Amino acid sequence: MGAEIPGIVRLKCSVQKYDWGKLGDESAVARLYAKNSREEVIDAEPYAELWIGTHDSGPSYVVAAAEGVRDGGVEGEDTYDRKKGDVVSLKDWIERNPSVVGDKVLQKWGPTLPFLLKAHPDKDLARILHKQQPEVYKDGNHKPEMALALTKFEALCGFVGLEELKNVVRFVPEMTEVVGNSCGIQVLNTSEDDGEKIMKEVLQSLFTDLMSASKTVISEIIPRLISRLNKKGQEMKLTDKEELVLRLEKQYPGDIGVIAAFLFNYVKLQPGEALYLAANEPHAYIQGECVECMATSDNVVRAGLTPKKRDVQTLCSMLTYKQSFPEILPGVAANPYTVKYSPPFEEFEVDCYNIPEEVSIVIPAVGGPCVYLVVAGEGTMHAASSKEVIGEGDVLFAPANTEITLETHLGSIVYRAGVNSRALEEFAAKRMH
């Protein structure tokens, strides 16, 4: 180890400019990134996701506080001056200072962050998880994730139950046109008495046939679907799913995902609600702003609602084909200013701090590293050996076992991501035995 490690480290984060991002000043991601990086927003470019973590595809960087932050003994200059713009990647800094992640994290995951925090408003790209084909999907890690709604939020998540699937076959004739009558009849003749294995096989067969349909077939079917729904809408109120399909078709005309949407649960979150999904569960975030946390991975298998490369064969073979509505986490109030979101994944959890003007709260030390994202307000963040003025767009890293005090001037909304506290407690209990 080199120099003393500070209690709080300010981070400069990366932004992803995917095609589906909002342009320039229209993007809340662009606003957060500009404030975080002090860089100007380019109006003609899309800003999709702000990444906070150690992933190579979107690394965060340690930026010195006013008095300088030492990097742990790198040869040459070891004081990084934010005013000069000198930075070192968070990944490299942690590798040089492994104690900052704590013993529990170091032993299980090594000198890195096992989680990745993102902010991405208005995401409507289908993101589906995968951990195969290393030449394409470069992470060996799985990718469970949780989306925490900042605004009203819409998503397609997981497959519908058997009865709703039967209704799709009955009332969406375009589906049967694509997959064939025999496949439709197989769905209608399936019952829960057949068992979960048979139900999954039937669903997988239907989904694979749909996703494998030729572009020629889809280009003929989708216009008929849209024409039928528009005519139906003139005579009666459409279902929420039907209205969504019309919206999706405007964004992705001719896309197979427009028809596939009938097979997925349509989820609507209110601000403050969270949705979590295990690996290998299909999902597409449709509309709204969210903070997302996941295991450190960028593996994505795409098959619809995207202009990017698709991998239908891998997608259809990897999914779990569970038929259930995803669980919604309302969050648990830990105190008047703190709501905790703890999904059943050991890599991460998220806390939201909504602190009124001129209020101070203490965040207890935990056995793993944490990152903090400020989405609104102004204030200060204190640790035993450091103090930072914080505002919208600021991102800070706190080493393991660091108690933090948050003080607000104008009221603040801050998100903290860290290793799941239950996992840290279980790890500590095992060591005691």
**Two tokens, residue 77:** 């200059």
Burial 118-147 (b: 16+ CB within 10 A, else e): bbbbbbbbbbbbbbeeeeebebebbbbbbb
Rounded to whole angstroms, the Cα distance separating 223 from 47 reads 31
Rounded to whole angstroms, the Cα distance separating 355 from 401 reads 23
Q: What is the CA angle 416-420-425, rounded to 5?
A: 125
Q: Which residues contact 5 (CB under 8 A, 6 or more apart)?
A: 72, 97, 99, 100, 399
**Two tokens, residue 112:** 């890195």
**Would you say the C-alpha torsion 266, 114, 401, 381 has a positive or negative sign?**
negative
β-strand partners of 381: 388, 406
Long-range contacts of 175-178 (CB under 8 A, 24+ apart): 175/210, 175/259, 175/262, 177/221, 178/209, 178/210, 178/213, 178/217, 178/218, 178/221, 178/259
DSSP letters for 317-356: HH----BSPPPEE--EEEETTEEEE--S-TT-EEEEEEE-
Torsions phi, psi for 184 (to 5 deg): -60, -45
Rounded to whole angstroms, the Cα distance separating 145 from 279 reads 8
Asked if 415 contacts 291 with a C-beta cutoff of 8 angstroms, the reply is yes
Q: Where in the sequence numbering do the catalytic residues fall?
A: 302
Rounded to whole angstroms, the Cα distance separating 372 from 262 reads 38
Nearest Cα to Cα of residue 69 among 42, 100, 113, 115: 100
Asked if 156 contacts 261 with a C-beta cutoff of 8 angstroms, the reply is yes
